[in-house]
Amino acid sequence: MKAPREAALLNLVKPNQRFIEESYGGLGIAWVRDFPELVRACLAQWDLTLIGRAEAGLAINAFFCATW
pLDDT by residue, tens only, the chain of 68 residues: 445 677 788 888 899 999 999 999 999 999 999 999 999 999 999 999 999 988 788 888 888 899 99
Q: Domain limits at 50?
A: 3-67
Q: What is the pLDDT of residue 1?
A: 44
The pLDDT assigned to 3 comes to: 58
| Residue 35 pLDDT | 94
User: Which conformational region is residue 67 in: left (phi greater than 0), alpha (psi within -120 to 50 degrees), or beta?
Assistant: beta
Query: What's the confidence (pLDDT) of residue 8?
Result: 82
Q: In total, how many domains does the chain have?
A: 1
Three-state DSSP string of 11-38: CCCHHHHHHHHHHHHHHHHHHHHHHHHH
